[in-house]
Amino acid sequence: MNWDDTTDETAPERLVGSVADGEDQAVEAALRPKDLGEFIGQEKVREQLDLVMRAARARGATADHVLLSGAPGLGKTTLSMIIAAEMNAPIRITSGPAIQHAGDLAAILSSLQEGEVLFLDEIHRMSRPAEEMLYMAMEDYRVDVIVGKGPGATAIPLELPPFTLVGATTRAGLLPPPLRDRFGFTGHMEFYEPLELERVIHRSANLLDVEIDTEGAAEIAGRSRGTPRIANRLLRRVRDYAQVKADGVITRDIAAAALAVYEVDVRGLDRLDRAVLQALLKLFGGGPVGLSTLAVAVGEERETVEEVAEPFLVREGLLARTPRGRVATPAAWSHLGLTPPQAAQTGNGQQDLFGT
């Protein structure tokens, strides 16, 4: 189970005990499972991690370095905190974009305590000089700090205490092989099945003191895109609707009505997803169309369409990438209630996307 990542990319490092700003951050922290027994889903990764940590504790040693890959919101940050808790070690959190110089990384590494867990989110976005320093730190527990410049520069070796690096990435293919090979364990996080998300929602509802029935949880789970973070966010919004518009109890009808207000349809598509599909279908006849052209049509940045909307649309089978551009699939026409230009007109085919 995962909730919104809390990595602060504006600072080289951040201790977990820092005060979170805003109600949502506080709620997310409260909902995070504290051990593997509470963590829902990802059975293979959980079993493998449990073996890694039990063996390390039996040897009285620091756990091997861990690499967690997968889409955002699947539990990478939560698992890093669980690793620290299971190893009875402190944890420090930073992110790849925050480490732009080798000196930034050296400062963090030199202040680690023995056995401490260093969580490095978006590790694939770390600068190359820092990445090269990390090789030696992971393998030999030492770094060479360069003092001076030019011919007079001197490398001063700095010994580090044994520590566990937990790296998280949404794009494992961008990691260079020398870095990837230095991790003792690599786990890939999969998208959740609806029944697993229902368990996540029931657990969170219980912690939030929200009454929800089985059908209400199923309705939210079906629109959560296979991601616990999204499931919990939608649960909080449905809770608000139920408290204001109903008696506070989340049923299937209440969940459907609430998610219609928040523009999340029956397949989990939000406003941006539908805007992309509508532009592709209505303006470009289903494609093919270039990504930049499609982004201009919906008034968004190219990167936003490519990284936020497109992965889910492709995974849902609503959009395809081709050498000539983006193309809508028959399922996209059906989902928006439209008829492809080549097909005979048999009616307007409109349907209520937010209904049940």
Tell me if residue 128 is catalytic: no
Tell me if residue 149 is catalytic: no
Q: Is the pLDDT assigned to residue 198 strictly greater than 60? A: yes
Residues forming the annotated binding site for ATP? Answer: 31-32, 73, 76-78, 139-141, 182, 192, 229
Per the residue annotation, which of 5, 104, 121, 265 is the catalytic one?
121
Per the residue annotation, which of 199, 225, 229, 233 is the catalytic one?
229
* Other beta carbons within 10 Å of 131: 19
How far apart, in whole angstroms, are the C-alpha atoms of residue 231 and residue 228? 5
CATH of 14-188, one of 3.40.630.20, 3.30.1330.100, 1.10.3720.10, 3.40.50.300: 3.40.50.300
Instruction: Provide, rounded to the nearest whole percent, the portion of the chain with pLDDT above 70.
Output: 85
Higher model confidence: residue 281 or residue 155?
Answer: 281
In the block, tokens 């139920």 appear at 242
- In the chain, what is the straight-line distance between the N-terminal and C-terminal CA atoms, in Å? 27
Tell me if residue 170 is catalytic: yes
50-79 CB burial, b ≥16 within 10 A, e <16: eebbeebeeeeebbbbbbbbbbbbbbbbbb
In the block, tokens 């201790």 appear at 15
Residue 21 pLDDT grade (very low, low, confident, very high; cuts 50, 70, 90): very low
What is the residue-wise DSSP string for 269-306? --HHHHHHHHIIIIITTT--B-HHHHHHHHTS-HHHII
Per the residue annotation, which of 62, 164, 170, 251 is the catalytic one?
170
The residue among 7, 37, 40, 50 whose CA lies nearest residue 224 is 40
Q: Which residues in the chain are classed under CATH 1.10.8.60?
A: 194-261
The class (CATH top level) of 271-335 is mainly alpha
Fold of 194-261: Helicase, Ruva Protein; domain 3 (1.10.8)
Q: Which residues in the chain are classed under CATH 3.40.50.300?
A: 14-188
Looking at residue 152, its pLDDT comes to 57
Residue 148 pLDDT grade (very low, low, confident, very high; cuts 50, 70, 90): low
Residues forming the annotated binding site for Mg(2+)? Answer: 77
Per the residue annotation, which of 5, 46, 62, 76 is the catalytic one?
76
CB < 8 Å & 24+ apart, contacts of 80-83: 80/117, 80/119, 80/166, 80/168, 81/16, 81/32, 81/34, 81/119, 82/33, 82/34, 82/35, 82/36, 82/39, 83/49, 83/53, 83/117, 83/164, 83/166
Residue 5 pLDDT grade (very low, low, confident, very high; cuts 50, 70, 90): very low
Q: What is the pTM of this model?
A: 0.79
Residue 19 pLDDT grade (very low, low, confident, very high; cuts 50, 70, 90): very low
Higher model confidence: residue 353 or residue 27?
Answer: 27
Tell me if residue 229 is catalytic: yes
The pair of three-digit structure tokens given for residue 84, joined into one six-digit string: 């620290």
Per the residue annotation, which of 5, 7, 46, 77 is the catalytic one?
77
Residues 6 or more apart whose CB falls under 8 angstroms from that of 247 comprise none
How confident is the model over 32-44, as pLDDT tens digits? 888 888 898 899 9
Tell me if residue 180 is catalytic: no
The residue among 109, 107, 155 whose CA lies nearest residue 134 is 109
CB < 8 Å & 24+ apart, contacts of 331-334: 332/277, 332/280, 332/281, 332/286, 333/281, 333/286
Q: Is the pLDDT assigned to residue 285 strictly greater than 70? A: yes
* Other beta carbons within 10 Å of 336: 21
How confident is the model over 292-333, as pLDDT tens digits? 888 888 888 888 888 888 888 888 888 888 888 888 889 888
Looking at residue 195, its pLDDT comes to 93
Residue 172 pLDDT grade (very low, low, confident, very high; cuts 50, 70, 90): confident
Q: Which of 14-28, 244-258, 305-319 has the weakest average pLDDT?
A: 14-28
SS3 70: coil
Q: What is the mean pLDDT of the chain?
A: 82
Q: Which residues in the chain are classed under CATH 1.10.10.10?
A: 271-335
Residues forming the annotated binding site? Answer: 31-32, 73, 76-78, 139-141, 182, 192, 229, 302, 321, 326
Cis peptide before 178 (omega within 30 of 0): no
The pair of three-digit structure tokens given for residue 317, joined into one six-digit string: 């089978």
